[in-house]
Chains A and B, each alone.
Chain A
Amino acid sequence: MHYPFDIPILEDDAGIKHVCYPAKKRDMSGISLPVERVPNWQEEAIKIFDELLGHYKELRVFMDTCVRCGNCASACQFFLGTGDPKNMPVARAELLRKVYRKYFTAAGKLWSNADEAVELTEEVLDEWKTYFYQCSECRRCSVFCPYGIDTGQITMAAREIMARIGVATKYVTEVVHKVYQTGNNLGIWPMAWVDSSEFLEDELKEEYGKDIRLPVDEKGADVLLVMPSADNFANVNTMMGYAVMFYAAGISWTTSTYADEGGNFGMFLNYWNQKRVNQRIVTAAKELGVKSIIWGECGHAWRAGFPFTNTFNKDMDMFDPPYPKHICELTYDLMKKGTFKIDKTANDDVKITIHDPCNVARGSNATLRTGMFEWPREMIKMTANNFVEMHKDCIREKTYCCGAGGGMLADEIHELRMLGGKPRAEACRATGANYLATPCAICKANLPEVMKYHKVPAEVGGIHDLLLKAIIL
């Protein structure tokens, strides 16, 4: 289950030094959160906690049902990496649960031991700040919990309580604020987005001698592509892969400078911001008059996009299908039909393995042997000859997080990210692969550093990168 690791020896407070910077006032006000800690924050926090307990079945049930069997203990990559006992999912959830017991259960109010029910003090809040931002909400623990307790949901609740009393991290709030200002997580201004798209068009012209377009804000296109903004700047091969795919399939598509971001960092703060980020995309799709919304290669973007977009936006029926579709599904369907001419030998120089992004594997349409487990795998098999799987305990629904999900791609916790990525690095090393394909922008940002840190000679790239290399136009 915890392959390829032995369970680390517990080391108290081993992870306590990895703390994110507190949020800036500018960002907090920009995303409608209190700019500083509200004066009576304990009272407020308990009030919000009460509200959340009434709003979320999962929180209500998960607070009561844990029996502390320890089955999840070694499931968390941050525990495996740091050895800090508070990073065991059950111990992390206990941080919230012990406050729950104090204020919301008869037993906790009447009679309680010191470690079972505690008041919400400054020390407890400090623990929350540290350890709820050492959870990437990857939900690996929920796969092992016999009651399906998802510590990711507990982390989300704790972060919402903290955010609404004015405690959040700089990285997450900054990113959400950037979305409201510029439409994407990276803070790329619309003009720069157009420039970058044109630059990629030039690149493709040089490479293939064809006018392959990366349209921006085009009314009347059939498809709105909502990709992680990093694809247009950092993972350009993936972006060019999309463009070439659309070109070869003859589909008219566009990106929108209003919604050039699939990722939803509001998910790591509170419901309000999550919904606000999400509805931009549907607004853009309606304004542009597209027929379908296609999501790019991104992990938590897909989680926030696929199961939640319908809930956040009432009128999705105008789109076909009435829910966001993943680009891998589209490309896979086209490939199966034989739309593209593919030269598999172009990818012979790499030995490929696949990393299932956590929020794709456990947050969407990936059930048993279908959906987002199979599409990328089939795509790789159709574009390349050398494909190996990692150990069965760390792929598909049991996949590890890259170490930076859940709004943890901040520089100040670089070491924690590297430690959290260790299980993935070791599993990759065991396969001997030199190309780690993954449909996720956060993974593509963190895993190269992780591979370097753990000295695994593997390059990290997207699924469409391979198509780009192998396709014959």
Chain B
Amino acid sequence: MNLPAILFSLIGWASMFIFVFGLVYRIYVYAKTPAPLRIPVNTPPTIPGVFASMAIEVTLFRKVFKTNKYLWLIAWAFHAALLLVLLRHIRFFVYPVPDWVMFFYYSGIYAGYVMLAALLLLFARRLYAERNAYISLPIDYYMLFILIAIAVSGLWMNYQERIYLVDVKAFILGLFSFRINAPDMEPLLVLHLLLVFALFAYFPFSKLLHAPGVFFSPTMFQRNDIEKRRHANPWDYEVPSEPYYTSENFEEKRTDQHPEGIIYPAGWKIKAEYDKYKKGD
């Protein structure tokens, strides 16, 4: 038991804590916020249809494919490779290790290279086209940079600086069972893990929220079945109307000013303003 190990474990716990609770809170906020109006954009009219179109969208990135084949290739390769790399890492989290995890453990390493290449291309395309450079914020580059650093350090550990896996696994399993196991503090491993912790901690506050967010996008998840169902607005309020008139009785009924007893939306103090204006007119 040494101080760096304690510190390191604490950082790990803190980042996992922020990640889990931050993400749960975000998803809770997304889920509870009402969608007052129906705004689907050409989605199917049935629930299975929406599920299917959403599934195609999140697994195959159909919209990007239809628009920009280069971007699609890079982005899809990155996400698919990331998935394989994450599957490979299950190896470090479970004991005993099932066979299918070992399969991904051996194949995942190639995905690591694909992921690195895709990340570099994603970085390059932000600089390459003028309009991509215009819309890119510093944080977009940092994010790519962190991911690249994670990929490089991970791959480097696999090929150059072989580290003692049993220690790493002991440390990670310790993290999950809230025990502090001192790992073999290889600098590269420390770097790799610190970057991962940083990414996890930043996840609920960043654009990485696109992963859960896409499922809450009303233009994509709402069904296009306006004919079949009334959509209610939970925070709807009453709004005053002018008295009804026809072309015959228009002159008697017309109101060029506010009908009295008008209901002002919350936080609105214009009645006084309006009275002042009416006086001055």
A residues sitting closer than 8 Å to B (CB atoms) are: 1, 7, 9-10, 25, 29-30, 32-36, 44, 47-48, 51, 53-58, 60-62, 64-71, 73-74, 85, 88, 90-91, 94, 105-107, 113, 115-116, 139, 142-150, 153, 164, 180-181, 189-191, 193-194, 216-217, 256-258, 270-272, 275-276, 279-280, 283-284, 287, 306-308, 310-312, 316, 321-323, 361-368, 397
Contacts and interface: CB of A to CB of B under 8 A. Distances in A.
A60 B30 contact: yes
A144 B63 contact: yes
Interface stretch (B166-174, B181-189, B250-258): B250-258
A311 to B, nearest CB: 5
A295 B35 CA distance: 25
A105 B210 CA distance: 15
A322 B220 CA distance: 25
Given A29-B277, A148-B217, A279-B239, A311 B232 contact: yes
Given A148-B41, A308-B38, A67 B217 contact: no
B247 A194 contact: yes
Nearest to A303: B39
B209 interface: yes
B38 A362 contact: no
B106 interface: no
B154 interface: no
A366 B42 CA distance: 6
Contacts of A105: 205
A287 B33 CA distance: 36
Given A90-B135, A142-B219, A258-B246, A307 B274 contact: no
Nearest to A397: B42
Please tell me the size bucket of the interface on B.
35 or more
Nearest to A105: B205
B218 A68 contact: no
Nearest to A217: B246
Nearest to B213: A65
Tell me what chain B mostly uses at the interface: helix, strand, loop, or mixed: loop
Contact of B209 (A64, A69, A150): A64
A149 B244 CA distance: 39
A363 B218 CA distance: 12
Contacts of B42: 143, 361-362, 366-368, 397
Contacts of B138: 113, 115-116
Contact of B246 (A116, A181, A190): A190
A459 B138 CA distance: 48
A311 B236 contact: yes
A149 B217 contact: yes
B4 interface: no
Contacts of B213: 61, 64-65, 147
B102 to A, nearest CB: 33
Contacts of A361: 42
B277 A25 contact: yes
Contact of B75 (A10, A69, A258, A311): A69
B247 A150 contact: no
Contacts of B232: 311
Contacts of B256: 30, 181
Nearest to B210: A65
A280 B243 CA distance: 9
Interface in B10-32: 26, 29-30
Given A61-B216, A68-B136, A217-B247, A367 B45 contact: yes
Given A71-B63, A150-B41, A310-B230, A257 B245 contact: yes
Nearest to B122: A69
Contact of B41 (A68, A142, A323): A142
A279 B210 contact: no
Q: Which of B130, B205, B262 has most chain A Cβ within 10 Å?
A: B205
Contact of B39 (A32, A115, A150, A181): A150
B37 interface: yes
6 contacts: A7-B131, A36-B273, A60-B29, A144-B63, A276-B240, A280-B241
B216 A143 contact: no
